Structures are given as C-alpha cells and as structure tokens.
Structure 1
Amino acid sequence: MEKGRIVILGAGESGVGAAMLAQKQGFDVFVSDFGAIATQYKEILEELRVDFEEKQHTVEKILSAVEVIKSPGIPDKAPIIKDIKKKGIPVVSEIEFAKRYTNAKTICITGSNGKTTTTMLTYHALKKAGFNVGLGGNIGHSFAALVATAEYDWYVLELSSFMLDDMHEFKADIAVLLNITPDHLDRYDYKLGNYAASKMRITQNQTADDVFIYCADDPETLKVLKTTNVSSKMYPFSIRKKMESGAYLESNIIHINIHLNDELTMSISELALQGKHNIYNSMASGIVAKVLDIRNTSIRESMGDFKNIEHRLEHVAKISGVDYINDSKATNVNSTWYALESVGTDVILIMGGVDKGNDYTMLKDMVHQKVKAIICLGKDNKRIHEAFEEDVEIIVNTFSAHEAVQVAYHLAKKGDTVLLSPACASFDLFKNYEDRGNQFKTAVKEL
C-alpha cells in the first residue's frame, strides 16, 4: 500500500496506539475524535507531532484517507462511518492494522464474560514459563502500541466483539471463545445470532495448523458452531462431560488432555480463582498452556499463584465480620450472576447504573436465594425495583458510592457480604467502572 494518509477515528488507548504505529511506519496520520480527548492521550499525540482534532469530525480531511482505523467504540451506524464506506475507503480495526507489522504469534481470547481474567491468567502462565510475551488488546496497552514499541514473540490479546467486527485478514494462532451471552445487543440489531456470529470471527482465516478452544457447555456457542466452518484443531472444555481431547472436570479434578500420555490433572481446590465460572477460565488457559508444551509443574504453579485484576471480585476489607467485595467490572447481568455464584449467602448487593436493555430474569433465582437487600446505585433504578420487588424485602436508592456503602454498613450483620456488582455501565454517576470501583473502595476504607 502506498504510504498515504491514515485516518484514525477515536483517540483512546486503541486510537493513540494506532497513531504511534502508523507514524512509525511512515504514514501521514490524522486522528479525529468526536468527543474530548483525555489529557494523557493528547500529550502522546502532541509528543508524536501527529495532526489531530477533538469534539468534531472534519469530513473532507477524513475522506482523503487511503484507510481508516476505527476505534471499537464507534458503531457502524455513525454518520461518519457511512460516509467513509460510501466512498469505498477501507475501514479496519487497530488490531488488524497492528498485525501487519509483526511476525509474532497471537493467542486471542473472547467471550461475553471471563475474558479479562482468562487473558491475564494465560499471560501469567506464559510469562512464568519463560515466554517472551506481551499482553494487550481490550486490556492494558493496545496491540498497536505494543507492536510500535516492543519486540515480543507472542501476544496474549483480549478481543471484544467490536474489535472482531473490523478484522478481515487477521488470524489468531490460538483462538479462545469462553461463552456467548446477551451483551451489547444494541450494536447487533438486538439479535443474539448477530452477536454470536461476531464472536465466531475469532476463528476466521485459521488453518489446520491453528487451534480453537471453546466451551462445550455453552448452548449459544454450540448453536453457532453448527453454522460456522472452523478449519483449526478444536479443543473443547466442559465441567459436565468427559472430553477425549481438551479439558473436563471429574470429582473436582480438572483433566487436560492434548497429547496422549501427558495428561495434566489438578484439583480445583488448588486453583487461585474459585467459583464455577473460574473453573472454565482456568481450563481454557490450561489448554493454551498445554498446546504450547508448557510443563505441567509450571502450569500448576501459575494456576495456583495467580492474582486477579482490580475491580473483578476484589476483596476490599472485612469490617465487623462483614466482607466488602468490589466487582465494579461487572457491567452486564451475566457478570453479576457469576459474582453471586462465587460468594456465600446473606449478600447485600449494590447494583445499578446505565442499563443496556438488561434482562434481569436470569438473576431472579440467585437473588432470591442469596440476597437480603439491594442497594441501587444509579440515576434511574425503576427497572431494578420492578425486577426484584418480589424477591428482596429491602431495595434502597442511593446516588453516590459513599451513600451506598453507608447504607450497606447499617444493613449488614456479621457474616454478611457487601457486594458491588452493578450489572450496568457506570456513565450516569462515574467516569468509568474503575472510577466507580475506586470510589467504592475509598468509601469502605472510611468506615
């Protein structure tokens, strides 16, 4: 391709990483963000001396591109994307662009839930085994920023469905699909089938030399597999049935079988991450490690000493016999279900925020069994009240993390768990889920 103008839409982690790499590759780079650009990213663009604009899109400048790199948050319905496509300018994701400039192998992990944990766990296992490995994508640094500034042999990448939508030539050497549950359906015409097809793009361009790891217990994955042609070696994992090759659970022992006569077994009590969903995450990571011929002792160690990320079932404190847990990263109903599944009974649940068309019915049984009070934390809590008024005696509205924690403190008795697991986005009262989690932790520490 001639080194013409590359236009990058969106100046967050993904867009700024793409700008770094495009400039390094000798393109004329223009970055355009319809919103305001965060100070940290503006400083990088200024340092690079890259031409950029914020709070607007200058259409003529954008339409002079040989290619457009679109940040994952921008939907195809956006008027500027329609204009670009009408003119026939190719639109790609930052991941697609970055892969052109590295010969490193990629391990790509997607799924509605558990992908961050599984990505971190897989990275931890490779690093512990001495691999020269980078971590990026939807977590930490963007893939493009890493390719521009580092030399790795392997990358472990967390990929969202939005990232996958704009990947065309890209191929994952090892692809992992954890599960498919309703999320972001507003971007997929409210059709689960469209979202599932988007997740299956993780297998595109794979050959018989590549690997696809998936959950054999996930109904939506099994459904979409029937209509998807997968060329790679497939390794399923299950906690319900025995797998000839892949991973399965039997009498609380995980078995991972890739090569004959070299089975890895591990008791679930040895896992650093507890809860049923984390058995799945650990199995998926374990299969990756076995595919890469990492020694069983090394895999066991990494599965046993892993520390999970901030804001995902993070234990904040125990005060007067009450546990306070920060699960602010739970921005959909399924994540909150997983959180409730992994804690005991007598839960005071803090939830709410920007509702993405949530269907709360899947939470009803779990809430009925385990939750004694719901504290709503959001501007509009009507749908939470409607969903759970028959299952919980106490539902209270609060409008700040401090107020929510104070109310929880007064409601909680010794042995209870106060769980922040919102099931919603955070943008009504907070900058993002990290801000929500940090404010919660500050409020707990002030008790």
Structure 2
Amino acid sequence: MNQQEQTPHTTHHTPQRIAILGAGESGVGAAYLAQQQGYDVFVSDFGPIADHYRQQLEDWKISFEEKQHTEELILNADEVIKSPGIPDKAPIIKKLKEKGIPVISEIEFAGRYCDAKIVGITGSNGKTTTSSLTYHILKNGGVNVGLAGNIGKSFAYQVATEKFDWYVLELSSFMLDDMFKFKVDVAVLLNITPDHLDRYDYKLENYAASKFRVTQNQTAQDYFIYCADDPETIKGMAGRKFDAQQLPFSIETKIEPGAYLENDNIVINTQQEHFQMSIKELALQGKHNIYNSMASGIVAKVLELRNDTMRESMGSFKNIAHRLEFVANISGIRFINDSKATNVNSTWYALESMTDDVVLILGGVDKGNDYDMLKDLVKKKVKAIVCLGKDNKRIHDAFEDDVDVIVNTASAQEAAQIAFHLATKGDTVLLSPACASFDLFKNYEDRGDQFKAAVREL
C-alpha cells in the first residue's frame, strides 16, 4: 500500500538484514517474501519450530534457529518482524527497542509490496466469522479477493505468490500494535470487550486504543464501519478524529447511512441502492451474528455488489470450524463445538444463541476471566457444567450457586462422555470453554478436533 513512502535501498553491495521472530504461519510467510525482495533473512524462534514450517525454511534455504534467540544474530538487523504472539515485555523485544531497531508486524511488512485494496476487520469477538463471511460474499460476487491475517495462509506469503485486487484481513490487536504506515481502505471494528488485558497493563482503554489503530492513516476516500450499539466503541470514538466516511450498524436504532433492523429485516443503506434481507434467511443465527452479517453486508455494498448476490451468499455461508460448529445429534442430544471461544465474551455469545437446555463444557487456561457476565445466562440455560482443564477452582467458585452439577474432567473424551450422561433428549452439549487451551491441548483447533472425535465415538 505504501510503496511511494519506501526509501529505495541505497546500498548496492549488501542487502538489508531482516530478522524474523517466531516461525509460525506469519513468520515463515514474511521470511519468504523478504527473501524474494532481496533481503538478507534470519528467522529465530524461542520455541521449537513445527515440522512443516522447518521443512519450508529448509527448502527455501532461509537460515533459522529454534529454541533460542541468539542476540548477535538478531540485534544486527536493520528491521525486525515479530510474531503477534510475542509480547513487548519479552527481553529480546526490549533490547531491540533500546537499540532503536524498528519492530514491525508481518502485515506492515507485506503491505509495502502489495497494491491491492484492503478490508481490515477487527474486534474482540466475531472477527473470524465476519472475515470469512465477507470473503465468501465478495468471492461469490466476482471480486478477485484473498483472505489473510489471523486466518488461513499468511498475508506475506500470499503477497509473494498471488495477485489479488482485494484482501480481507482479520486483524488482531497484537497485529495492529505493530502496524504503523499500513492503511486499510475499509476498516471494520465489531466490538470492544475485555480480552487479553494481560498484554495491556490490565487497562481496557489501552486495548481499545489498539483496536482503533485499524483506522490509522485512513483518508476521506476510505470507510470506517462500526457497531453503534457497542458502548466501549462509542466511548473510544469520543475524542478521536476519523477522516474516513463512517457507516455504523445497529439493531437498536435506525441509522442512515449504515445498517439497521426493521421488522426482523436487515436494512443496509449506503450510497448504493438499499439492501434488505430477513434475519430468518441468514445462514448465521443468533443476535451476535446479525451484527456480523450487517458488517459484512455493508462492506459488500461499499464494493457495489448486487443485492441478489449478497442475499444468496449471506444465506448459504457455512461457518468456520470450531465456532458454534454442529458436530452430531446422538439420542436427541445436540453436540456443538465452539472451541474457538477462548474468552468469556465468546462463551456469552454462544450461550445467548442457544434455545435448549445446555450442558456446558468450560475451562482451560484462564486469562484473568471475569465470569460474572455469564451468571444470568448460566442460571437461565445451563443445567450442568463439565470442567475441562487442569485447574478448575475459579469455575467452581463462580458458578457453584447457579448450577447443581459441576464435574471435573481431564480429557476431551472424558468431558464428552460425562456431558452425554448428564444431558437428556432435547438438550445441547456445548463445548465453549471461555479459556485458552494450552494446559491440555496444542491449541483450540486440537481441543475442538479431540472433542469432535470423542463425540463420534459415543
């Protein structure tokens, strides 16, 4: 996006050196693009590197190390690209900052070599669903579009290997923290709720400031799409200046231009002709998904997609794995895998969309969770809680007065079996842990896969 701002490489003899910290999807993709652009590249991961990423680095003849950070090989870089997972308080990052070596994200780096237009989607909840849905609508509408960021193949790798006119990027706050000159043409901010506060000195306003970075560098030709019903978003907008054209969405009030709800119809009204669709026809059900569909629909309208294309796509979309994913119906009991719910808010959304009695599987690595916001929904809808984690004390403390049965389990298989026994015909067994998965599983995908396998064995 920012090619004109790039200073040409003045040195002809030695290419500039780039060190990349973290050899996951984003790091390995960035390494490939940097090598392609003629940089001297070194990749360093403090942990072990997964086999397929190690294989790629070897195939491309990119030098790397694992299980350590060799400082003299990193602190001699002209620039460092860091994985979103590495916090600023990591010792190596502190040393880089002391030396004044710029530390940027893979997205920032790839953006320099990409002239496609960008839809950037962020928010505490619904990012992946909204990014996937937006991509689905645009692709079906004939747009030459890629999907990247926090999802799928890395943006850098796609910039190196593909030629898209548009990208839909799912942007986490950690990615946004290390983005400076990068600009998105259409910014979407879904909501702001307490999450990852351990990375933001436990201050919600610091985390909110990260989210608002999605609008940085926008001009009057660009768009900012946000939820007018979200109190933290509205609070954060006060005292900030936005150059982009604003297109809010709401299910509480009629908003024009923007999107709103009228007699159970989503109405989207931008400079283009009105779009209207019954919420009953949406592929994604539940109140939070009305918001996600509105946000995606506004993006489609900004790109001037046809109403019938949009309606077809919004009605046919299949949600991503591990996000309220239907697994099976066994003896009249529905099993739902929502392993991607790694914070309390995601679990709140999942419970909010349930119509049956629920046996809820909760637990894992707790990021300082406040379970209070779940209490009302748990009282109303949950008949039993099955804990799936190494330390479940805080879940017991939070819900012992609201639920008759709280059971501890130590594997996905055990959790599925016990939940099955606690449920009766017409109930839903919901895996929506509200916690990270690293105590018992590799990641939330692994947790969801093990749960699905266990359910199919019942």
What is the TM-score with the length of structure 2 in the denominator?
0.97
- Corresponding residue to 1:150 among 162, 167, 170: 162
Query: In the alignment, residue 98 of structure 2 is paired with which amino acid?
Result: K
Aligned pairs (5 A) from 1:269-418: 269-418=280-429
SS at match of 1:340: helix
| Aligned equivalents of 1:255, 1:190: Cα separation in 2 | 38
SS at match of 2:318: coil
For residue 248 of structure 2, what is the aligned residue in structure 1?
236
| Aligned equivalents of 1:299, 1:71: Cα separation in 2 | 35
| Aligned equivalents of 2:239, 2:446: Cα separation in 1 | 41
Contact 1:69 1:97 survives alignment (8 Å): yes
Query: In the alignment, residue 36 of structure 1 is paired with which amino acid?
Result: P
Contact 2:47 2:68 survives alignment (8 Å): yes
Task: Render the CA deviation track for 1:3-39: whole Å, top value 9, x for unaligned.
Answer: 3110000000010010010000000000000000000
Q: What stretches of structure 1 move > 4 A for 4+ residues in a row?
A: none
For residue 4 of structure 2, what is the aligned residue in structure 1?
none
Shift of 1:141: 0.9
Contact 1:207 1:232 survives alignment (8 Å): yes
* Unpaired segments ≥5 residues, structure 2: 1-7, 10-14
Is the aligned partner of 1:141 residue 2:153?
yes
Aligned pairs (5 A) from 1:39-438: 39-259=51-271, 262-438=273-449
Shift of 1:343: 1.1
Aligned length: 446
Query: In the alignment, residue 200 of structure 1 is paired with which amino acid?
Result: F
| Aligned equivalents of 1:429, 1:79: Cα separation in 2 | 27
Aligned pairs (5 A) from 1:28-39: 28-39=40-51
Task: Render the CA deviation track for 1:223-252: whole Å, top value 9, x for unaligned.
Answer: 000022111000000000000100000111
Query: In the alignment, residue 440 of structure 1 is paired with which amino acid?
Result: F
For residue 3 of structure 2, what is the aligned residue in structure 1?
none
| Aligned equivalents of 1:394, 1:227: Cα separation in 2 | 48
Contact 2:356 2:426 survives alignment (8 Å): no
Identity of aligned residues (%): 73
SS at match of 1:265: strand
| Aligned equivalents of 1:270, 1:109: Cα separation in 2 | 24
| Aligned equivalents of 1:74, 1:349: Cα separation in 2 | 32
| Aligned equivalents of 2:315, 2:240: Cα separation in 1 | 35
Shift of 1:351: 0.6
Task: Render the CA deviation track for 1:46-91: whole Å, top value 9, x for unaligned.
Answer: 0110010000001011011010001100011011001111111111
Task: Render the CA deviation track for 1:142-199: whole Å, top value 9, x for unaligned.
Answer: 1101001111110000000000000000000000000000000000000000000000
Contact 2:359 2:384 survives alignment (8 Å): yes
SS at match of 2:452: helix
SS at match of 2:210: helix
Query: In the alignment, residue 392 of structure 2 is paired with which amino acid?
Result: N
Query: In the alignment, residue 15 of structure 1 is paired with which amino acid?
Result: G
Contact 1:345 1:369 survives alignment (8 Å): no
Task: Render the CA deviation track for 1:254-284: whole Å, top value 9, x for unaligned.
Answer: 1000026x11010000100000000000000
What is the TM-score with the length of structure 1 in the denominator?
0.99
Shift of 1:202: 0.2
| Aligned equivalents of 1:230, 1:31: Cα separation in 2 | 37
* Unpaired segments ≥5 residues, structure 1: none
| Aligned equivalents of 1:444, 1:255: Cα separation in 2 | 39
| Aligned equivalents of 1:210, 1:406: Cα separation in 2 | 51
Query: In the alignment, residue 366 of structure 1 is paired with which amino acid?
Result: L
Contact 2:147 2:168 survives alignment (8 Å): yes
Contact 2:208 2:236 survives alignment (8 Å): yes
Query: In the alignment, residue 296 of structure 1 is paired with which amino acid?
Result: N
| Aligned equivalents of 2:424, 2:256: Cα separation in 1 | 48
SS at match of 1:281: helix
| Aligned equivalents of 2:333, 2:102: Cα separation in 1 | 55
CA RMSD of aligned residues (A): 0.7
